[in-house]
Every structure is written in C-alpha cells, then in structure tokens.
Amino acid sequence: MMLANGVESALFQVTRSRRALLLAAAGAALVATPAAAQADGDNVIAEVTITAQKRAENVQDVPLSVAVVQGEALEALKLNEATDIAKVAPSVTFINSAGPRNFGFFVRGIGTSTFAAETIEGSTGYVLDGVVLGQAGSALADLPDIERLEVLRGPQGTLFGKNASAGVINIVTRRPSKELDIRLSGSWAWPDDERKISGYVSGPITDTLRFSLSGRRNKRDGIIDNVFDGRKFNDRNDGGVRGKLEWEPSDDLTATFTADYYRREADCCLWTFAQIGGAPSAQEALAAAAGIVAGTGNFKQNINGDVFANGKNYGASLQVDYELGGGFTLTSISAYRRWFTKDGLDSDSSPLDNLDVNFAFLKQSQVSQELRVASPTGGFVDYVAGLYYFETDVHSASTQLFATVPLPFFSRLAVIDAQTRNIAAFGQANINVSDSFRLIAGARVLNEKVEADKNRLDVRFGGRDSATASKSDDAVVWRLGAQYDVTDDVMAFATVTRGYKGGGYDTNIGVGTLRDVRPEKPTSYEFGVRSRWPDLRLVANATVFFGKVKDYQSAGRDPVTATYPIANGEAKTRGVEFEVIARPFDDIDFTLRAGGAYVDAEWGDFPNAPCFGGQTLAEGCIGGVQQDLTGARLPFSPMWQGNIAGHYETPVANDWRLTVDANLSFRSDALIAFPNNPRTEQDGYSIFDMAVGVGPQDGRWKASVFAKNLFDQDYRAAMFSTPFGNARSLSQFQVYESQRVVGVALDLDF
C-alpha cells in the first residue's frame, strides 16, 4: 500500500510539473522530427531530403516538426497500409471504424471523424505526390512504391491549401529510374490467410523519357465470426495500379504524368459487443443466447443482414517543373481525382430487423491546380509563392430503415449534393538577416465557398423535406518565426502559426435541416532544436508546442435524435516531440531510431458538449442532453506515444547477407470515443513488429519471416454506444493488427 501511495504521489508531482518537463526535454534536444536515417560506406548518417516547404531541403534545416520514414523501412516490416502510419510517427492516431466515410487521422490529439463528410473534411491533410485529397476516406488504401512518408505536425495551411489545420501526411512515391529496375514481392501471413503480391518496373524508354508501373493485390479472411450463419466479416480484398511517365527534354524542364487506380471490395466494417451496461436489450440477450460474451476479446457478432464496404479511387496529375533562369523554378501541378464508396451494414447487432438496412453511396470528384515559383536560395530573401484552386463535388444517397419504429422519417432516404470551392494566393519567405540568422514570414489569403442541398423522403409515410444552404468565407492564414544556426550542426527555431479549416454543414440523415458548422481556426506555437553530431554518428531533435483550436469541429452523440452531429467546441494541445537517430558503431551496419511525444490535449471552453449514452445527472449530463467538457481530456489522444526502430545488416557465410528489422510502438491510455465517456478508456499498450531476412549480397532476392504484434497485444480502434442496446452498453471496432500476425515473404529485385 505504501508503495502504491508513493507511486500515486510521484505521478501527481509529474502532472503538476508538466511545463517544466516540456522545457527540460527541449533543452536536452532529444528528438522531435523523425527522419529515417540512411548510411554511406563509413556508417555515417546521411542527409534526408524532404519537400515539406515546397522545395527540396535537408530535414535538419527545416523549422517544422516533421516525421520522415523511408519506403524501404516500411516495406521491410510489411507496413504498407495508411493505418500503419501511426506505428512509425508519434503524435499520430487514427479512427478506422464503420467505413471509409468517417475515417480520419488525428495529430497531437486534433482531428475530425464524421459521417457528414459531404462538406466537413478531416483536420489532417493527406497529400499524394503534391495533390491534396479532398476526402479523408479516399486515403484509406495501401502504400505502394513509396519513396518516403512525411508527417508534418501542427497547422500547415500556409503552404498546403486544404484541410491542414492539424497537420499534413505527405506521401511521395518513387520517380521513374534511369536504369531498368524490376521488383516483385509476395507474402503470406497467419492466422487469417493474408496474401499480398506486388510488382514494380521502372526504366528508360528513350534518352529523355522514363516510366514506372506498379501493381498490387491484397486479400485476407475476415476477423469477425458471425454466429448466425457462419459468415466472416472485416476482411480485406483490394488492389490497384500506378503508372508514371517522366519527360526530361532538357536540364531546365521536367514533366511528370501520374495516373493511379485503387479498388476495394470487402465485407467490412462491423463492430462487436464490448460492455453490457445493465439489463440487456433484446438484441444483447439474443447474442448471449448464441454464446457471445461481451468484452475486449470478443470477435463475434450475430446478424442476418449485409455488411459491405466497396469503393474505388482513381486520378491523374501532371507536374511540370521549369527552371526559369537565375535560380528560379516554376512548378505547375494539375490534377483530377474521383472517389466512390458504397458501404453499409446490418446495424442492429442481431438477427432481428430493427435496422438491417443502413446503407450509403457517395461519389466525389475534384479538380485542383497549383502554380508556384521558388526563388534561388543564398540571397537576402528567398521565397516560395503561388496560386491555388480546388473544387470538389460530392453526391451521396443514404438509406436507413428502422423497421420497428412507426414514426415519421425513421424509414428514410436522403440525397445530398454539395460543392466546395477554394481559391488562394500564398507565399512564404526567409529573410536572411545574416549567415546564421533568418526570419520567417508566410501567409495564405483564401476564399472558400460551400453549397449544400439535402432532400429526404419518408419511404413509409411518403413525407418529404428539404434544405438548401450556402456560404462564402474569407480567411488569412499566416506563419511567423525566427531560425538561428547555433553552429553548423545545431539549429534552433521559434514559430507561431495561424491555421484554418473551412466550415460547412452537418448533413446528418437523422434531421431535415443543414446545421451550420463554423470554420476551425487553430493557433500553434513551436520551439525546436535540430542537432547533428557527426563524430558520434548521432542526430537529436526536439520540438515543444502549444496550440489552441477555436471552433474545433468534433462529433458527438445526440440522444434525442440518436444521431452523431458535428459540434463546434474548443481544444488545446501542448507537449514535446523528440527523436534520436544513431549509428553507434563504425564497423557494424546498425541504425537505431527512437522517437516519442508527450501530448497533453484537452477540451477548451466546451460547456454544451453532447452527453454520452446513458450518462446521468450525477455524471454531469444536464437535461439529458449536454455536458460540460471544459478542461477534460481529448479523446483519441494518448498522453505518451513513442516508437523505437532498429535496422541491422551483416554478412553471413561467403555470399549471403542477414537483415533484422524491428519496431516497438507504445501508447499510453486514452479515451477512444466521442463524446467523452470514462468507460471507454483504453489501457496503454505496446506493439512489437519484427522481420528477419536472408539473401545474397547483391540483393537480388530476400526471403524473410515477419511478425506483427509479436506479443499478441489486444487493443481497439474506437468504441461507441451500442445501437439498440442498453443505454450504457458499448460496442467496439476490433483491429486486425490487435492479434499476433506471423508470415513469410519473398522479395525479388532484378
């Protein structure tokens, strides 16, 4: 007991001293910009080039908190899905639950996840080869032929035009090669018969024209057993292709055309019972009678209806880079994309027909054009400036049939059409006061227009209603800061950034109106240190941050209408992000990366937050409708996150080589539901992934054994109030990776 009290007291002191902890961490300069290390022949840490500021720069010179992971590191551990990003980039979490429409990334505790996706975008921008994806769900795909992955943390609206109020995930795929390169890869994993195969070919067509072509196919059995009829749900069945043509007729001009296509057809995404909150409902009683035991280890359901999540995502872009002379570079990126998703599921968790039909179809198309100029560096002022245009059209049709509720608009069809148009002028400049000191100033002036139409039909009683709304908003996004080179190998910076995410309308099918959602406006302060220690073969970085989001767009549950509306609240986030990269031995090929984040994220002023299911007056629910969440923790935001990754290579025998890759990711406890429900707190957990490979020294092939979640750590992606369950019952979304996965792989490189 004395020991327990001592631990409790120590934790209390740590909590009270968190500001001092942040400052101490920054002063120690231990990490904040995860950058995957590469080695040259002397086992030193080579430079990593990124494009986080719209020009190629050494990551150690960039005054941002950036996590960088090379494609080879992802492939070695078979981490090739967008949801794997959270394993290698501290501060990033995600919601991947009932389907792609409410998928979302969270950075530093800030993010948006909603089914009202027609006009409400995610808070984290997802950029693929320079093109912003207008719908977060279209990012729910695999990661083929990746050159590198950049996670930019904090508001990035100055240089990235859309939905970047929490951060940006910037995906850069491989450029076509000047020599023929052929790669094939295949893997099989247990226990759910996961099969993956991919191919990549690249090389020259003429002296000035190069190409690349990649393809992949992924299949896996479902992880949820349906006791009603033996079906298995939440499987994987997808694949796609990407092609590139790169034309370089002179040293001054490069034009790259990219086209890609991805398709998904899966029996996904179904939840399971996590907790029975009291007297079981009829649905919960039927599940218990069928042998289903609610709990964290429950991978069983008991339904009679359909479950599906089918979609396709394709697009094309043309990037032209032209050297104007005098060191100026003109870049144009023109893009067109489309995304379709058809998803639905039997939502009553039983063989009864309470809500067997809860289906939706959504299609989105977007066009974008970015034109920018980058000045030469080395003068008194260098800058990037440009113009941006983005337009997206969304059409959705949703059907919900509450068969046993004889009330108006409980058997309903809703058709929604929405359009968002964004135009902007932007620029960011460095004012080089001296060789070692520079000021940073940037701004984006934008106008965003949103239009929405909703038409509902009561398919039982024949009623109709409709709503139309539109609005236009002007905003100025800006960034100010200073950067100082303490030595050639140590840089410090301080910045303040104002971000913006456009408003829109809550298009929820459960109500006939279009509720107005105000724009999200974050302000973020950062102080960082970047350091290299060449003699020690060491990189150490740290960033301290504090942010406040006005009109934070978040989802909660409305117990009156049984819907999940978008509400504007306020959020605060503060903490420190850190990383160390080391190659400690001059004669051993071993690289170690250790990164982490302390994130203290909480609601700001939010007195009218929705109550959670079954919340009582004693628990803070006022009038059965709202609760005061001011100062409470933000959901989906562990206070501590981190990962440690290692790569080791060594010759064996005469002509063979052994490789060992490992990654340990850690997350402390967190609430995993909107709105705050203390019973949805998930304990902290660690996930250990590892791969051991062997092949010839020339790298022509490699055979490997890999394991994901080697120690079989159970965890869930999200929880929520069980539909048709006891008011205090909870359901959960189980994750494929929350079980041990062991497999074998063969990689060929010709």
pLDDT in tens, 501-527: 999 999 988 889 999 999 999 999 999
CA 72 to chain centre: 20
pLDDT > 90? residue 103: no
pLDDT cut 70: percent of the chain above it: 93
Q: Report how far residue 262's alpha carbon sits from residue 52's, in angstroms, rounded to the nearest whole number.
A: 26
Cis peptide before 269 (omega within 30 of 0): yes
Cβ atoms of 270 and 234 within 8 Å: the answer is yes
The tens digit of pLDDT for each residue in 348-382 reads 999 999 999 999 999 999 999 999 999 999 899 99
- Domains, in order of start, for the chain: 21-749 (2.40.170.20)
Task: Say whether pLDDT at 345 is over 80.
Answer: yes
Q: What mean pLDDT is reported for the chain?
A: 90
Residue 99 pLDDT exceeds 60: yes
Q: Highest mean pLDDT range out of 139-143, 388-392, 516-520?
A: 388-392
What is the model's pLDDT at position 629?
A: 93
Instruction: Identify the CA nearest to 82 among candidates 67, 70, 94.
Output: 94
Q: Which two tokens stand for residue 658?
A: 């052994």
CA–CA separation, 529 and 541 (whole Å) = 6
Q: How far apart are CA 267 and CA 225, in angstroms?
A: 12
Sheet containing 730-734: give its strands across: 272-275, 730-734, 716-721
- What is the band of 7 on the pLDDT scale with cuts at 50, 70, 90? very low
State which H helix or E strand residue 415 sits in: strand 411-432
User: How many residues does the structure list for the chain?
Assistant: 750
Gap between the Cα atoms of 197 and 719, Å rounded: 33
Residue 674: which pLDDT band, with cuts at 50, 70 and 90? confident
As a whole number, mean pLDDT of residues 27-34 equals 35
Strands (E), 604-655: 609-610, 626-627, 640-652
Cβ pair 124, 164 in contact under 8 A: yes
What pLDDT digit, counting tens, does each position of 457-471 carry?
A: 999 999 999 999 999
- On the question of pLDDT at 395 being above 60, the answer is yes
Give 230-273 pLDDT, tens digit per residue: 999 999 999 999 999 999 999 999 999 999 999 999 999 999 99
Arithmetic mean of pLDDT, 201-219: 97
Q: Given pLDDT bands bounded at 50, 70 and 90, which one contains residue 557?
A: low
CA distances from 590 to 581, 595, 654, 691, 692 (A): 11, 17, 20, 15, 14
Indicate the pairing of strand 253-266 with strand 272-275: unpaired
Mean pLDDT of 596-622: 92
How many angstroms separate the CA atoms of 375 and 381, rounded? 9
Q: Using CA of residue 103, residue 106, residue 112, residue 113, what is the dihedral sign?
A: positive
Interval 284-294: pLDDT, tens: 999 999 999 99
Residue 23 has pLDDT above 60, yes or no: no
Mean pLDDT of 691-718: 95
Q: Max CA-CA distance within the chain?
A: 80
The Cα–Cα gap between 646 and 689 comes to 11
Q: State the number of CA atoms in the 13 A half-sphere of 10 facing the CB.
A: 6
Range in 211-215, 370-374, 670-674 with the lowest mean pLDDT: 670-674
Task: Identify the pLDDT of residue 424.
Answer: 96
Neighbours of 106 (CB within 10 A): 26
Local structure of 284: helix, strand or coil: helix
CA distance 354 to 346: 9
CA distance 266 to 237: 5
Q: Which residues contact 637 (CB under 8 A, 6 or more apart)?
A: 93, 106, 108, 109, 573, 599, 601, 670
Alpha-carbon torsion 146, 151, 156, 158, what sign? Answer: negative
- In 3D space, the residue among 369, 498, 459, 383 whose CA is nearest the CA of residue 422 turns out to be 369
According to DSSP, residue 338 is labeled: E
- Residue 286 tokens, joined: 């039927």
pTM of the model: 0.90
* pLDDT for the residue 5: 41
The string of pLDDT tens digits covering residues 187-209 is 999 999 999 999 999 999 999 99
The arithmetic mean of pLDDT across residues 145-150, rounded, is 90
CB 112 within 8 A of CB 119: no
Q: Are 730 and 722 in contact (CB under 8 A)?
A: yes
Angle at 9 between CA 8 and CA 15, to 5 degrees: 90
Structure confidence at residue 645 (pLDDT): 94
Place of tokens 């370089």: 248
Q: Classify strands 209-220 and 236-250 as parallel, antiparallel or unpaired.
A: antiparallel
Contacts of 94 (CB under 8 A, 6+ apart): 82, 83, 85, 86, 103, 104, 105, 106, 717
Among 185, 215, 183, smallest CA distance to 201 is for: 183
pLDDT bracket for residue 100 (50, 70, 90): confident
